[in-house]
Structure formats: structure tokens, C-alpha cells
Amino acid sequence: MTQSPWQPISPEKPARPVREPLSRERIVDTAMRMLVEQGYEAVSMRKVAQALGTGPASLYAHVANKQELDNLLVNRAAREMEFPEPDPDNWQEQLKASMREMLRVMRAYPGVARAAIGQIPLGEQAMLSTERFLAILKAGNLPDQAAAWAVDLIPLYVTAVAFEESVQRTWEWTEDDIEGFVSELRSYFNSLDPQRFPITIALAGALTSGGSGDERFEFGIQVITAGLASLARQQG
Amino acid sequence: MTQSPWQPISPEKPARPVREPLSRERIVDTAMRMLVEQGYEAVSMRKVAQALGTGPASLYAHVANKQELDNLLVNRAAREMEFPEPDPDNWQEQLKASMREMLRVMRAYPGVARAAIGQIPLGEQAMLSTERFLAILKAGNLPDQAAAWAVDLIPLYVTAVAFEESVQRTWEWTEDDIEGFVSELRSYFNSLDPQRFPITIALAGALTSGGSGDERFEFGIQVITAGLASLARQQG
DNA sequence: TTCGCGGTAGAACGGTGTTCGTCCACGAAC
DNA sequence: GTTCGTGGACGAACACCGTTCTACCGCGAA
């Protein structure tokens, strides 16, 4: 009882607390914007709440926990992916194009990869992209089991690539930093003990090429596509 | 000056603060043991320090930061991997065996995968395993550039698989939990809109099979190996 | 008009990585 | 033999994190 009993109750309303009410939609919108602008690390329950002008506890009325919010972000991103209509004569190129599309979206929302890795994507949009991949793989005449495991393998690879990139982006390297690092790396390889690392030294040039990641990714999807093609049933 | 001036100086030594001095080695040993026994989440700078009977600040005299400690753990784990001598007639099977070996070690040290993902492994032991993989790939007559990118792709895939498993292990699921989840998943697939998810529904069985992960992993290394083989130069 | 209820939100709990500044033991120098 | 400098040890603190407790309050139903 530290308050004076005659204190006026509610001094002319406390600064209009009405505001637009919270909602799942508004929370995901805000989190997504922060993800794009400031990266995954910046998307904390506290900061999302602060951006919405409230406290962290308020979010929990609409979102179960951080993990669910991550899942919602993944699903929101998946909404933007576009896939071709399956064409049996062209399924390998379609598969590659779809993987490129997946990486494109994940690059556009850095941090979504981190949210996506290690979770089974069961949201509406994510399931739709699975369906699209399955359609392409079936057009390629893959056995059911191979197609099923492939739609596990493919997002795993693309997500891992995107995640790796996003981790390195966290370190905030400029183009020059990368160039410097690559040349340092090359001379590090060359300084190794030739007795123990003969091949690493011989391939120092090849090992340090393709730093941008695009070429490496192209290589990866080529390997996966060719590997899957080798499992396709002859004819149809 | 709150102390009494006649107070005896150093009351028979303050509980022997000598102890064995800290060192990088001791820190990594302790962290590794905690990683094995309690998982990655339990390995914090504070807890490692506590296990060593000191405060967190003491570690920073020997280890730059948490990330460096993670790297040291990765390198320590890589020390345990064993690779076959390259055999040109058997390189595909050797490649698969090496990937299995890599996964085996990463499973033995849950959390190492999490520490490894998104970093270029430049430690002594990690470089050695790269060298071994290169030897096998060269035995398979892969072009230099393909071999170089392959030793990027291969650890990326294995690490991603191990990381995914370790994330799911964090959730502490029993065998029964998994079974229940899989059957739930199956009925979820079957409850989807047949208009929009025809293939997902048709393949519900295949999609939910191989829950243990071993079969999925075997599929993955088969795809990668076959894909790489398709890039090998004809003959030598 | 009253009551109940659900969204809001401040405060707090128990954690995290990292840094600051103090203290002290030890080896080198005088 | 004594002094001094230095580097490791480390308690305390900083700025965060996800989550929960609990009080409050406005609004719709009764």
C-alpha cells in the first residue's frame, strides 16, 4: 500500500493502448521483414515483440514457441517458390531448375535455411513444393521409393548449401575479404607437408576455385540429378 | 580498508589454488567428454569452465571463443576417422565406405555435426580426411575440378544428415515416439486434399519408410556415388 | 450492470557468450 | 635477496536469449 489513496484513477487514459491487435499474420510479417533486413540472428521473440510495440509474452498467445515461428517463416518462404509443369522428356533439366529456384528463395530470405534445417516441413506451402518435386521425379520414371527418398535428399542438400552460405554471411565478409581469404587458403595448401598432403597440394587451384558458390552448387545438382537418373527405370 | 590491520596474512593458504593449470588440451578433453555424455547443448563455456573448477573467463586465455572451441572439437573427432588405401578397381565402394565412416564418427560425437556445418575444416586432422577422399576420387579417375568440388559436396551431405539427426535427438524421442509419429504422419498424408496432393498421397507409404535414417543415408550415398561416377573420365 | 474470459504486457527466471578489472604467483632483472 | 613486470586465473557484470508467471483491462455475453 505505497500509493496515496486519493490518487486519481487512470490519469486520462494511458496513451491509447488500443493499437491494431496482434495476430499470427502480423507476427510472421514482421519477423519475415526482420529476417530479410537483418538476418536470422536478429529474429528473436523479444525483438519481434519490440518491433510490434509490445512485450515478448504477447506473442505466445498466437505462436506456440520460437520453433513454430521458424516453421511459419519457412512456410511463408516456400509460398514464393515456383515450379514447372512436369515434362517426362525434360525432367532432368526441370529438376535442376527447381533446385535452383529453391536456392534462389532461400537466398532471398537468409536465415530461412537455418530455420528449415532439421525439421520436417509439414506446412501447406512446403508440402506443395514436395508434391511438385515428386511430380517431376515420377515424370522421370523413378521408382516410388527412390522418388520418396529423393524428396528428402534434395531439400537437405539445397538447405545445407543455403545454410552454409548464411553462416558465412554472418561473418560479414566483403568481396575483397573473400579474395584475400582464398589466396591465403591457396598458399596455406601449398605450405602443407608434401609427404602427407600430396593431392591437396596438387589440386590447390581446383580446391579454391568457385568461391562464389554458384559453380559448386551447379556441380552438386548435376551430381544428384545424374545419380537419380541412374536409378530411373528403363523406358516407361 | 575494512580489514583489521592485525589480521594474519594469508590464513594458511587459501585452499590450495594451485591445481593443475589449464591448457587447450585439457579444455578440449573436457568439452569432448561433455559432448559425448550430454550432447552439444550442454557444451557451453560456462559449463566447461565449471567442470574444470574455474570460471568462464579463464577459458578465453586458451581459446579465442566458442567457435574456435567448436572447431577444435571437430578436429578432435576427425582424428578418429579411418580411411581405406585407394584402389582404382573398387573406388565407388571405398567412397561409400568412407562416407559411412564419416557418419559413424559424427554419430559417436553428437553435436560435432552442428559445430562442423558451415565452416571450412582447416585443422590438421580434417585436412587429412580431405586428402583421403581426394585420393579415392582420383583413383576413380575424376577430373581435378570434379574431385575438388566433390570433397566439398561429400562432407556437406554427411554433415547435414548427422546434423538433422542430432537436432531430432535433442527432442529426446523414444523408439515408440518415432513409430507413433510416423503413423500420425502417414494418416496426415492420407487426409490431404487428393486434388492438390495426389502424388504425396499415393506415395504416403514410401515417404514414411526408412525412419531410422540408415536406409535414407544409403540411398543418398548411392545417388552421390553414381552421380560422381558419371563424371569420371572413360578409362585412364 | 455484472461477470468472465481472453489478449496484453511488465517483470522475472534461468540460461547463453563475452569482457572488464582485479588479484596473485612466478620468473627475470637488478 | 629483493623488486618488478607479466600473464594466467577468475568473480562480477553486460547484454542478450526463450519462456513463464501473473496482474491488468477491455469487451462481449448474460
| Radius of gyration, CA atoms only, chain B | 25
The maximal CA–CA distance of chain B, rounded, in angstroms, is: 90
Residues 79-108 of chain A within 7 A of strand D, judged by CB, are none
Residue nearest to nucleotide C25 (CA to C1'): B18
Residue A57 CB in 7 A reach of strand D: yes
Residue A125, all three cell numbers: 506451402
CA-nearest of B38, B225, B127, B100 to A201 is B127
Q: Which CATH class is domain B78-229?
A: mainly alpha
What's phi and psi for A143, nearest 5 deg? -60, 155
Residue A137 CB in 7 A reach of strand D: no
Mean pLDDT, chain B, integer: 82
Q: Which residues of B touch A164 (CB under 8 A)?
A: 117-118, 156
Least confident of A81-90, A201-210, B171-180: B171-180
- Shortest CA distance from A118: residue in chain B: B164
The number of helix segments (H) and strand segments (E) in chain A equals 11, 0
Report the C-alpha gap between B226 and A228 in whole angstroms: 8
Cβ atoms of A130 and A152 closer than 8 Å: no
Q: Is residue A81 scored above 80 in pLDDT?
A: yes
Q: Domain A24-63 adopts which CATH fold?
A: Arc Repressor Mutant, subunit A (1.10.10)
Residue B208, all three cell numbers: 514414411
Report the C-alpha gap between A110 and A93 in whole angstroms: 26
Report the C-alpha gap between B184 and A85 in whole angstroms: 30
Q: Which residues of B touch A91 (CB under 8 A)?
A: none
Residue B60: nearest nucleotide (C-alpha to C1'): C18
Contacts of B228 (CB under 8 A, 6+ apart): A223, A227, B95, B137, B140, B142, B146, B150
Q: Which residues of A touch B194 (CB under 8 A)?
A: none
For the stretch A126-137, pLDDT in tens is: 899 999 999 999
User: In the prediction, which pLDDT does B129 show?
Assistant: 92
User: In the prediction, which pLDDT does A3 show?
Assistant: 34
Kindly write down the DSSP assignment for every residue of B132-168, as one continuous string: HHHHHHHHTT--HHHHHHHHHHHHHHHHHHHHHHHHH
Which of A40, A207, A208, A214 has the highest number of chain B CBs within 10 A, making it the mutation to test binding with B? A207
ipTM of the complex as predicted: 0.81
Least confident of A14-23, A194-203, B165-174: A14-23
- Is B134–A226 a contact, with Cβ atoms under 8 angstroms apart? no
Q: Which nucleotides of D are covered by protein (CB under 7 A)?
A: 7-13, 16-22, 25-27
User: In the prediction, which pLDDT does A5 show?
Assistant: 33
Report the C-alpha gap between B199 and A74 in whole angstroms: 22
Q: Is B106 helix (H, G, I), strand (E, B) or coil?
A: helix
Q: Is residue B215 scored above 80 in pLDDT?
A: yes
Q: Which residues of A touch B227 (CB under 8 A)?
A: 222-228, 230
| Radius of gyration, CA atoms only, chain A | 24
- Shortest CA distance from A149: residue in chain B: B216
CA-nearest of B70, B234, B83 to B154 is B83
In Å, how far is A59's CA from the nearest CA of chain B?
23
Report the C-alpha gap between B191 and B200 in whole angstroms: 11
3-state SS of chain A: helix, strand, coil percent to 5?
A: 65, 0, 35
Report the C-alpha gap between A146 and A232 in whole angstroms: 9
Question: CATH 1.10.357.10 spans which residues of chain B?
Answer: 78-229
